[in-house]
Amino acid sequence: MLVMRKLMSDLTILHVNDMHSNFHSLKTQTNFMRARRKELEELGHTVWAVDLGDLIDRVHPLVEAKNGQIASAILNQQKIDFVTLGNNEGTAYTPEELEGAYKEKEFKVIISNVKWQSTGETPPYATEIQFEKIDQCSIAILGLTASYPESYEPNGYWIEDPLKTLDRLVPRLASEGHQIILLSHLGIDLDTLIAESYPEIKVILGAHTHHLFKEGKRVNQTLLTGGFKYGAYIGELHLKTEKEKLIPLEESMIEVETLKEDSATDEGKIYLEEGIKLLKENIVLRQIPDYSVRDLAQLSLEAMIRQTGIPIAFTYTGLFVHELMKGALTKFDLHDCMPHPIHLNKSQFSVKNFKQLLRVFEEQQPELLEKAIRGYGFRGKLFGEILYTGFSKKGEEIIVDGKVLGDDEIITFVCPDHMRFVPFFPMIEEKGINQILYPDLLRTIIEKELIFKERNYHD
């Protein structure tokens, strides 16, 4: 009896992106994805579920309490098949921490442009390329994340420019007859450029810039998707295989709020409460005095200098969301006061440029005192007052340790890395020689300083 090979098949990709620990509709999202997968599989479809990165954000107490390991639990529950890294995963966790976060995974992590510095290889929990076959159609799945070498490299990774990665991989994969799908945490502009430049890529599942394409977007021969943010939508992409070819058909976006039985119910409350409980149970010190917001800012200056050995430091009061009260100090107190995934940044300037930077600080200060800001790692409310230590000014002169510095001399200072990236002080990036200091976050630095002060007090 002659057996005919199947020539056509249906493939459906369910995809989500940029949750950023917004779990308010997580139960509904998970239930829908599991039920929809079952429904489609019963119709004969091959179904893949994909997360496109930035699932977790350390601003969430449970994410912090479990050091990111909640990510695997959520993705396993949703029956996710493939994941790529967002910058929140890659820059907020060390290589070893992220390996731990994925220890219990039941899915494949695909990242094509990130390597461990210690080995020069793709992280051990991930693969550079994932190969799948549906009947006669061989599919190569790539994963690319936005390139921030200033953050990745001090954190123990090598990150490759995504276009160089594609130049390296796409010609070979295409010549071998693979159909290519890209899981992209690059953003709409790069996705569009890639679609224009690499016709071999059939589909780009997009994230990072929180763009929304309710029915997808065709750029030449490539179908682009975009699923907004915070779990607001689930994407459903239909494709078919025809012999060796993969053909994108149609994309739709399902609004998660319309699926909820009660739109007022916060399905993430249980995760929030568990995280707060765990952090409150972790006692750092049995007793501390009161610290006002300004006290904490001053303490941060002391901590930066002592822990980095850099004699000049800047900070600002908005980093501290509220005061620390007299009594026991817990991990929750530190996290609630400083929820940001912010590190320190070391910067070297000529004294001439340093003087100009100080003028920028002075010019911006009145507006920044009450300016509401968000992003670039900041999870507070207002920017607040800029404070510094380690030098003095006399007219236009900069004095360090009693010595007037010449304009051509080099001055080194440390500040929160947020100051480097916000649009108010572009000089830091443009004129400075900069290095982000890993692994400690601001709250870890403050925790260490409070422990140091307590030990010294009792000594």
- The model's pLDDT over 371-415, given as tens digits with 9 standing for 90+, comes to 888 776 777 888 999 999 999 999 889 999 999 999 999 999 999
Say what the pLDDT of residue 374 is.
76
Which comes out higher in pLDDT, residue 272 or 456? 272
Give the C-alpha separation, 54 to 418, whole Å.
19
At 209-266, the pLDDT tens digits run: 999 999 999 999 999 999 999 999 999 999 999 999 999 999 999 999 999 888 788 9
Q: Which pLDDT value is given to residue 264?
A: 80
* Close Cβ partners of 92 (under 8 Å, ≥ 6 residues apart): 57, 58, 68, 341
| CA–CA gap between residue 11 and residue 168 (Å, rounded) | 27
Q: Output the six-digit token pair for 307.
A: 């822990």
The tokens for 271 are 């995760």
Q: How confident is the model at residue 117 (pLDDT cuts 50, 70, 90)?
A: very high
| Alpha-carbon torsion (385, 390, 394, 396), positive or negative | negative
pLDDT band of residue 8 (cuts 50, 70, 90) is low
Nearest-angstrom CA–CA distance, 440 and 438: 5
Type and span of the H or E element at 96: helix 95-101
**pLDDT of 4 above 60:** no
The number of helix segments (H) and strand segments (E) in the chain equals 15, 25
The HSE-up count of residue 297 (CA atoms within 13 Å, CB side) is 19
pLDDT tens, residue by residue, 414-443: 999 999 999 899 999 999 999 999 999 999
Q: What radius of gyration do the chain's Cα atoms show?
A: 25
- Identify the architecture of domain 282-458 in CATH: Alpha-Beta Complex (3.90)
Pairing type for strands 201-206 and 222-227 reads: parallel
Q: What's the rounded mean pLDDT across residues 50-72?
A: 95
Quote the pTM value: 0.92
**Average pLDDT score over residue span 140-154:** 96
In the CATH hierarchy, which top-level class contains the domain 11-270? alpha beta
Residue 262 confidence (pLDDT): 82
Task: Give the start-to-end residue ranges of the domains of the chain.
Answer: 11-270, 282-458
Q: What is the mean pLDDT of the chain?
A: 94
Q: How confident is the model at residue 40 (pLDDT cuts 50, 70, 90)?
A: very high
Condensed to tens digits (0 to 9), the pLDDT of residues 301-353 reads 999 999 999 999 999 999 999 999 999 999 999 999 999 999 999 999 999 99
pLDDT, position 457: 66
pLDDT at 130 over 50: yes
pLDDT at 271 over 50: yes
Distances (CA, A) of 50 to 25, 152, 365: 17, 24, 44
What is the pairing mode between strands 157-159 and 129-134? unpaired
pLDDT at residue 381 in the model = 85
Under the banding of pLDDT at 50, 70 and 90, the label for residue 459 is low
* CA quadruple 317, 319, 325, 326: dihedral sign: negative
11-270 and 282-458 share one fold: no
Residues 260, 190: Cα–Cα separation, whole Å: 34
**pLDDT for 141 beyond 90:** yes
What pLDDT, in 10s, does the model give residues 178-209?
Answer: 999 999 999 999 999 999 999 999 999 999 99
Q: Please say whether the beta carbons of 66 and 221 come within 8 A.
A: no
For residue 432, give both structure tokens.
């400075």
Instruction: State the pLDDT at residue 458.
Output: 59
